[in-house]
Amino acid sequence: MTQQRQHITCKHTRSEHVTAHNLLRTTWMPSLKLITFASLCFGSTFSFSAFANCYWSSGPDAVQTTTFDVGNLYIPRDAPIGSVIGKKDTRISLSYNNGGLVCDKQGDVLKYTLEHPTSADIDVASIRLKPGTLMKTNISGVGIIISNVYTDHTTFNYSVNHPYLPLTATTKRGFRLRKATYDFTLVKIGNNIAAGKNSFNQLLLSSMHANQKPIEQIYLNGSVTTSQCKLPSGTGTQIRVPMGTVEKRHFNGKGTTSESVTFDIPLNNCVSDPSPIPGQSWNYFTANQANIRFEGAKGSTIVNAANGELGLNSDSTARGVAVQILRSNGDAVELGVDSPIGTFQNSTTSMQLKARYIQTSDSPLGPEPGKADATANFTLTYK
């Protein structure tokens, strides 16, 4: 970078000085013997530079751009707000092969901006977020956290957000910046992520300014897809489980049961994450996990939630017995809460469950025979 300097110099001749002196002496101030007009002489230097005291050493002073591609990421439809989408702290490292950014003096300011509005502060899985550092993206319900990993406290004074953007770094001395490292974390910030594939479309994320002039910009490509399934058409109301006729002799005390009956909940049009990221048990969801919540209906009430026991309908005539709902491995499904029942794959998946009668009365004679129907509403979630 070249600097153009222009100097303006004022010169006084002895005769000009004497003339002014004589004029003031004879006209206005006869008691004064000498007046020096030093304040009327100015010396000034004008410096022209595209980025003031910071510049790319190889020139020209163009804005450099980098595009970061996250690939195709997946988030379960019902994952809690604050869940990390994809990998936490995905890192990109930049090397400035043009010789680097040079700032000549102390007091130069590098400002790293966020190019979109920030979201409300929320609890993010495994990240202690600083206020005002979670930025919205062009995908509704998806935000991003950006941090500047490169740290040099001998060269910079950092603003309180460090290392998170937006960030200001003020130089303590001249320096040459030859590299930069950024971490990116995508976060679910709302329950309004559209179904299907949502693209970032070369989204401008951040700009670095040197003394208020942009010198670097970072863009984002890739997509976020919601993973979920659908129930087959026509099954949105009932799944019937025939329990058959069970003789009283099968029961001989509280907690004794009949034989189990297997039933399936079919799931169609499933979209699952083909490559779940391992080692993120700290996150708020499990990839491709289907959950079910059973709640009583038509007079059936939950008798023992932890043991999966659902009471009979109000028009049932049998007494001292309930229906117990089990996973395929025989473990009880907890009622009234979202309980995991298995993982789903692309296309069609069937979630297998079991049901059986269980004696709830203390009578050693067993339950009272009669009609023994139970009804439950169920809700499927993916998280």
Q: Using one digit for the tens of pLDDT, what is the confidence trace for 191-234? A: 999 999 999 999 999 999 988 888 899 999 999 999 999 888 76
Q: pLDDT tens for residues 285-335?
A: 999 999 999 999 999 999 999 999 999 999 999 999 999 999 999 999 999
β-pairing, 309-310 vs 289-297, is: unpaired
Helix (H) or strand (E) holding 350: strand 347-359
* Residue 112 to residue 11: CA distance in whole angstroms: 47
> How large a percentage of the chain has pLDDT more than 70?
85
Residue 84 CA from chain centroid, whole number: 5
Task: Please list the alpha-helical segments (H only) found in 237-371.
Answer: none
The Cα 307–Cα 333 span in angstroms is 7
175 vs 27 pLDDT, higher one: 175
Residue 62: per-residue pLDDT:
77
CA distance 172 to 154: 7
Report the chain's mean pLDDT, rounded to a whole number. 85
Find the helix or strand (DSSP H, E) in which 300 lies: none
Which burial class, exposed, middle or buried, applies to 174 when counting CB atoms under 10 A from its CB (0-12, 13-18, 19+)?
middle
* Euclidean distance between CA atoms 66 and 251, whole angstroms: 71
Whether pLDDT at 374 is above 50: yes
Domains of the chain plus CATH, in order, are: 1-48 (no CATH), 54-227 (2.60.40.3310), 231-382 (2.60.40.1090)
Is-contact 346 361, C-beta < 8 A? no
Average pLDDT, integer, range 342-369: 92
**Whole-Å CA distances, 225 to 85, 279, 292:** 10, 21, 22
Do the beta carbons of residue 297 and residue 353 sit within 8 Å?
A: no
Place of tokens 């010789």: 99
Which one-letter DSSP state was computed for residue 308?
Answer: T
pLDDT in tens, 279-299: 999 999 999 999 999 999 999
Give the SS3 label for residue 25.
Answer: helix
- pLDDT tens for 93-110 read 988 877 788 888 899 999
Residue 3 pLDDT more than 50? no
